[in-house]
Amino acid sequence: MADVKQSFDPHVLIAPAAGLLELTIEPQWENAIGTNLAMMAQAAALVGSFPLPDEMESALLFRPL
Amino acid sequence: MAADLLSGTASAMARAVAGGECSAVQLLDAALTAIDSGNQTLRCFTDLTLERARTEAAAVDAARSAGRPLGPLAGVPYGVKNLFDLAGVVTRAGSLINRDNPAARSDAFAVSQLVAAGAVCVGAQNMGEYAYDFTGENAHDGDCRNPHDLAHMAGGSSSGPAAAVAAAMVPFSLGTDTNGSIRVPSSYCGLFGLKPSFGRLSRRGAFPFCASLDHIGPLARSVEDLTLIYNALLGADPLDPAQDARPASAIDFASLADEPPLRIAVAGGYFRERCDPVALQAVDAMARSLSVSEQCELPQAARARAAAFVITASEAAGLHLTRLRERAADFDPMMRDRLLAGAMAPVSWVMQAQRFRRWYQLRLAELFRHFDVILAPATPTTALAIGQQTVQLDGESVPARQAIGPFTQPISFAGLPVVTVPYWPAGSGLPIGVQVIAAPWREDHALQVAQQLQQSGVSRVRIAKPYSLSGSSDA
């Protein structure tokens, strides 16, 4: 997978994101959440490093009824 | 008679009931005896619907006695993953939290279709919490065990559905598949499993996981059974916003053998890396049986898996956000920590993954101009041991939970129909599956090739008996 910037520390994100989302995070959960966030960041970096043309639309689709 | 039939196929059971060789009530009693004897060990079923099952079986027998026409699955007992609504049953979706919900007021659409086909629902089955799982482990209902070797995982998240079929409790089950949750347990338990095209079958009444990727489908003991059940599940449902509007025809199983040969290739590159040699042995055995020598490359499969991972975590987190706020401690810790991380993911990650999904869809459509069917491993290894933390793949130690779905995720990400076919390596006590992948909406192609593989004998189901370490026998 593509490397995420060394400066990214997922643990820094947890407290402010939890506040924004009104989530209560127990201290003993933080390591596992950080590990999962780091894995997501790696996956997102791999996807994000792939060049897509501007006109490539999202696969989400809405159909009026 | 009924007990013998219980180790066979759903098709054979339906024929026996229609022919008067066995009653639906007798089949039901045999299924309940098998469940009673093995469920404590295997943990396949979480809820039994005894009253409902007796009513449905008696109705089938009464209809036969009166000379009324019977449905194609008349009298065949089955179970459903416990995320499907069953009227009068609380839909637990593998969780502790949902047990506080009221009982479902009506059946899921798919269950209603099976009722119309005459099948007899015996209960709801164990699964990974909220379907976010490949292992079959469950902190609330206990780990579902692999009936071929109790020390190993059944695979998830449709763990109970798979183990119950492999252990001859019921001949088929209804499962769901978002990233591999029908195909992984089919591989681990040695079954035929069908994940249809995304949008083909209504998901209404199935508790969601990730709406962008959720599918429903059957796990069974033969390709004929998959076809029969798939046909029964077909039906337009205007209340499922994800169902595709194009009409779907029933597949004529008997005519599959007369169809012209298809253009088949083996998936190369990504799908031949980071897996146990036994996974490649299985694919190559299938390819030899079909006289297939060509390889093809699914472009950017690793990125497809990564994009599926991002979409799944964030979309599922959005679904569960209120529960994460109010009852985070009541989740299985493995699920909770992944969902909390998913809730914190930037939206731009998800949107980029959805844009990549469109690109990937278009590239695979080009690939299917050259091939009708692609063969790939279903899982990198046979069933991992329960509690196993790491696995060695290509000389590298990989976390076990990351080494289960790498070959299924890039396929469901494109919404392709897949039949998982079982393979038993020589001398092995555990099976492994191969994905028979077709172009969108061509379930018939996947079933046609699966049937060829079953007919040649290279792919076959073995029934585990009797959930000890005493081995397995052919279905």
**What pLDDT digit, counting tens, does each position of B358-395 carry?**
999 999 999 999 999 999 999 999 999 999 999 999 89
Contact A36 B351 (CB under 8 A): no
Look up the ipTM and state it.
Answer: 0.94
Evaluate if residue B134 carries a pLDDT over 80: yes
Evaluate if residue A1 carries a pLDDT over 50: no
Q: pLDDT tens digits, residue range A17-50?
A: 999 999 999 999 999 999 999 999 999 999 999 9
3-class DSSP assignment, residue B353: helix
- pTM flag (> 0.95): yes
Evaluate if residue B97 carries a pLDDT over 80: yes
Chain B CB contacts of A56 below 8 Å: 355, 358-359
What's residue B3's pLDDT?
A: 80
Distance CA B374, CA B107 (A): 35
- Overall average pLDDT of the B168-192 stretch: 98
- Overall average pLDDT of the B178-201 stretch: 98
Contact A59 B212 (CB under 8 A): yes
Shortest Cα distance, chain B CAs vs residue A26, angstroms: 9
- Overall average pLDDT of the B13-21 stretch: 97
Distance CA B158, CA B214 (A): 13
> Residue B233: what are its φ and ψ, rounded to 5°?
-80, -20
Q: pLDDT tens digits, residue range B220-231?
A: 999 999 999 999
Average pLDDT, chain B: 96
Confidence bin at B242 (pLDDT 50/70/90) = very high
Distance CA B274, CA B388 (A): 18
Chain A CB contacts of B329 below 8 Å: 26
Confidence bin at A62 (pLDDT 50/70/90) = confident
Residue found by looking up tokens 């497809």 in the block: B304
User: A36 — contact with chain B (CB < 8 Å)?
Assistant: yes
**Dihedral (Cα; B207, B13, B19, B29), 10-degree rounding:** -80
What's residue B473's pLDDT?
A: 60
What's residue A5's pLDDT?
A: 60
Confidence bin at B470 (pLDDT 50/70/90) = very low
In chain A, residues 3-22 whose CB comes closer than 8 Å to chain B: 10, 13-14, 17-18, 21-22
Report the half-sphere exposure of B238 (CA within 13 A, side-chain side). 2
Confidence bin at B469 (pLDDT 50/70/90) = very low
Are B443 and B194 in contact by the 8 Å Cβ rule? The answer is yes
Residue of B241, B333, B361 with shortest CB distance to A59:
B361
Burial class from Cβ neighbours inside 10 Å (0-12, 13-18, 19+) for residue B67 reads exposed
Confidence bin at B324 (pLDDT 50/70/90) = very high
Nearest to B186 by CA among B207, B169, B202, B164: B164
Confidence bin at B268 (pLDDT 50/70/90) = very high
Contact A47 B338 (CB under 8 A): no
What's residue B4's pLDDT?
A: 87
What's residue B65's pLDDT?
A: 98
Handedness of CA B88, B94, B96, B98 (dihedral sign): negative
Q: pLDDT tens digits, residue range B453-466?
A: 999 999 999 999 76
Confidence bin at B475 (pLDDT 50/70/90) = low
* Distance set, CA B39 to CA A64, B147, B431, B470 (Å): 47, 10, 21, 17
Distance CA B178, CA B373 (A): 21
| B64 Cβ contact list (under 8 Å, min separation 6) | B17, B18, B20, B23, B70, B74
Rg of chain B (C-alpha set):
20
What's residue A3's pLDDT?
A: 60
Q: Take residue B254 and report the two structure tokens written for it.
A: 């008997």
Contact A26 B329 (CB under 8 A): yes
Axis-axis angle for helices B277-289, B443-456 (nearest 10): 90
Residue of B310, B344, B351 with shortest CB distance to A17:
B344
User: A61 — contact with chain B (CB < 8 Å)?
Assistant: no
Q: What secondary structure letter does DSSP report for B399?
A: E
Burial B414-432 (b: 16+ CB within 10 A, else e): bbbbbbbbbbbbeeebbbb
* Distance set, CA B215 to CA B11, B188, B200, B416 (Å): 24, 19, 8, 11
Evaluate if residue B298 carries a pLDDT over 80: yes
Are B14 and B73 in contact by the 8 Å Cβ rule? The answer is yes
What's residue A63's pLDDT?
A: 78
What's residue A64's pLDDT?
A: 79
Contact B349 A40 (CB under 8 A): yes
What's residue A8's pLDDT?
A: 79
